[in-house]
Structure 1
Amino acid sequence: MDIAMWFRDRFLKLCQCIGANFVTAHRIFKTRQSRTSSCNPRVLSVCYPQNLAALALIGTGLCVIFLDYQSQIWRKALPADFLHTFGWMNSLGNSAWLLIASGVLCLVILSQDARDYGLRLKMAISSAFIYSAFLFYTVAASGLLVILIKWPLGRARPKLFDALGAFHFDPLIFKAAYSSFPSGHATTVGATVVALALIFPTWRWFIAACGFWVALSRVIWGAHYPSDAFTGVLLGATFSYYSAHVMARRRIGFRLSQDGRIHRLLGVSSAHQCWHALRNAVKKRKPDQTKHSASAKNFVTQQPEPLQSGNYNAR
């Protein structure tokens, strides 16, 4: 019974800590609204909505005319080993593992009581929360957006290519076999690539190369047409860029330069110092965790001491 009460108290304290930290984070985001008036709201010219719409029309149209039909012919001629390899790569575009990893990390950070932490450790924890929450939001929100687009459009998937061809649409049918355009996995790839490229700018080209092959795997695996993958990547990348732009105007995790480029607010040297602070904190907690686990074990296995005899007056 005492153990159950101990777990109950710990759970309630954890929920209170998460709620208090969440309210604080929300209040900080709201108070940063005043910084948007003094910040340059300019975006890159290529990222203007009309320019992105033109890019989507041209790119999607070229894919439909020159690639969609032909891709189903040369895909069938590929060796079986290719399909097996790209099938494994195809699973990397699933948003579930990204959402679980970033969501759990956010909850772990929110459960920390950082009032007694040092300045560098507080900066590391706050930065980790900002970037993990940013990744969670962009992947989740862009995934919901693409669902609202693809299901009403009703484009037939490549598995129906032999029966219906590459350009068959059946709007408002709301079936999984008719939800090909745009690709949800490719949307996740586009949102993730832009988010990670902004968080880790020195790795941006490697991240983009990995994202290219993951998005292409949807075509080789036979789940989507090239136009589906292209539009999905563009949709996810656009959503992630404008989400980062909103944060950069408030100087939360990112900042804007004079030409409209988005840069990570945490510098290289500060990022290294935060990493060392986190690593040192983890190393210091390991002996404490061992001591606490040993004391908890002794608490569980400890036998109750017998009552000592004494003279009691019966009433």
Structure 2
Amino acid sequence: MTSRGYAVDLIMLVGQSLARLLRTPSHSRRSIAARRGARHMLLVSAVLAAVIVILMVAVDAFEIGLMPPRGTPSLWPLKIVNDFGKSTYVLWALLALMVAVAVLLPRLAGASRAVMIGIGTRVQYVFLAVLVPVLAGEVLKGAIGRGRPFVGGAANPFNFSAFSWSEAYASLPSGHAITAFALAAAVSALFPRLRLLMFLYAITIGVCRLVLLAHHPSDVVAGALLGIIGALAVRYWFAARRLAFTIRPDGTIEPLPGPSWERVKRVARDAFAP
């Protein structure tokens, strides 16, 4: 393939991917899924909102008083683990995967191209499932303006400076928790067998944020709530357009069967063949 032909093919494939994502919803059961999803989200939101209030009133100040002082040298392993929940790193990694898929697609044809498009759609879903709640979280952080633990010198969970848009007053919700729980929910939606592993990862990130005195417990729960709801909302968007997911008659959203590992290896050989 000539360089000009490759470039044109690449642009056309990227355009087609965006068109599929933005097209009008076509799944006949999307309204059933929307109602089912709304009920579940309202229930989960109500329960966790009550938990957040209880944590603010009864737990936050006590919990952060138990944590080791900020900057304790022995906490360096937690700082390394903590970075695995940083939105910048997670989103750049997912973006790199999407770019890799886009670069390889024009080298493939037929069944191999179809498999790679399926892989790209799933990576695109995970990227957006993390990006959407992360962006929403940044807006909420600045608007709410909750002080981080010990900002102002005291373990005061009610230290607020609304619309301050400063790092010191960006505690609620936890950005790392949003990222980790959104990633866990998105990957679990595609690969249910990984659910336990992914949520162990997310909980570990949440615990790190508490021990490092970056957040109150209620911040982490709020971040988890926003991350999960955001990932599920993006999942509905994809399912309504028959992308990566399907909708059962009862409104349950399930992942479409993905390619086998043998098929993926075959596609990789085709993509890197001279």
In 2, Cα distance between the equivalents of 1:67 and 1:61? 10
Preserved CA contact (<8 Å) 1:17 1:111: no
Residue 218 of structure 1: aligned partner:
209
1:105 to 93, 97, 105: 97
Preserved CA contact (<8 Å) 1:255 1:264: yes
* Deviations, residues 226-247 of structure 1 (Å, cap 9, x unaligned): 0001000110110101110121
1:229 to 200, 217, 220: 220
Kindly indicate whether residue 21 of structure 2 is the aligned counterpart of residue 25 of structure 1. Answer: no
Please tell me whether Structure 1 or Structure 2 has the larger radius of gyration of its CA atoms: 1
* Higher RCO (CA 8 Å, separation ≥ 6 residues): 2
> Secondary structure of the equivalent of 2:183?
helix
In 1, Cα distance between the equivalents of 2:191 and 2:37? 23
Distance 1:179 1:30, change over 3 A: closer
Q: How does 1:1-315 map to 2 (within 5 A)?
A: 10=3, 15-31=7-23, 33-36=25-28, 40-42=32-34, 44=36, 48-76=40-68, 83-114=75-106, 117-119=109-111, 121-160=112-151, 162-163=153-154, 165-267=156-258, 270-281=259-270, 285=273, 288=274
Q: CA deviation at 1:279?
A: 3.9
Q: CA deviation at 1:261?
A: 2.6
* Deviations, residues 68-97 of structure 1 (Å, cap 9, x unaligned): 111112112899576222222111111122
CA RMSD of aligned residues (A): 2.8
Q: CA deviation at 1:201?
A: 1.4
- AA aligned to 2:63 is S
Per mean C-alpha deviation after superposition, the further-off stretch among 239-248 and 56-65 is: 56-65
- AA aligned to 2:256 is L
TM-score of the two chains, using structure 1 as the length reference:
0.77
In 1, Cα distance between the equivalents of 2:92 and 2:201? 21
> Secondary structure of the equivalent of 1:111?
helix
In 1, Cα distance between the equivalents of 2:29 and 2:82? 43
Q: CA deviation at 1:47?
A: 5.0
In 1, Cα distance between the equivalents of 2:197 and 2:5? 42
In 2, Cα distance between the equivalents of 1:141 and 1:78? 31
- AA aligned to 1:99 is L
Preserved CA contact (<8 Å) 1:159 1:223: no
* Deviations, residues 166-208 of structure 1 (Å, cap 9, x unaligned): 2111112221101111111111112101011112211111111
- AA aligned to 2:228 is A
- AA aligned to 2:128 is Y
In 2, Cα distance between the equivalents of 1:162 and 1:30? 49
* Deviations, residues 242-266 of structure 1 (Å, cap 9, x unaligned): 1101211222101122333322102
- AA aligned to 1:72 is I
> Secondary structure of the equivalent of 2:246?
strand
Distance 1:264 1:36, change over 3 A: same
> Secondary structure of the equivalent of 2:165?
coil
* Deviations, residues 137-159 of structure 1 (Å, cap 9, x unaligned): 12222111111111121111114
Distance 1:68 1:32, change over 3 A: same
The percentage of aligned residue pairs carrying the same residue is 21
Preserved CA contact (<8 Å) 2:33 2:252: no
Residue 303 of structure 1: aligned partner:
none
- AA aligned to 1:245 is Y
> Secondary structure of the equivalent of 2:26?
helix
Q: CA deviation at 1:43?
A: 5.3
In 2, Cα distance between the equivalents of 1:250 and 1:224? 38
Preserved CA contact (<8 Å) 2:27 2:241: yes
In 2, Cα distance between the equivalents of 1:98 and 1:49? 25
> Secondary structure of the equivalent of 2:61?
helix
Q: CA deviation at 1:125?
A: 0.5
In 2, Cα distance between the equivalents of 1:32 and 1:266? 23
In 2, Cα distance between the equivalents of 1:277 and 1:256? 30
- AA aligned to 1:243 is V
In 2, Cα distance between the equivalents of 1:26 and 1:45? 25
Residue 299 of structure 1: aligned partner:
none
Distance 1:274 1:32, change over 3 A: farther
Preserved CA contact (<8 Å) 1:18 1:107: no
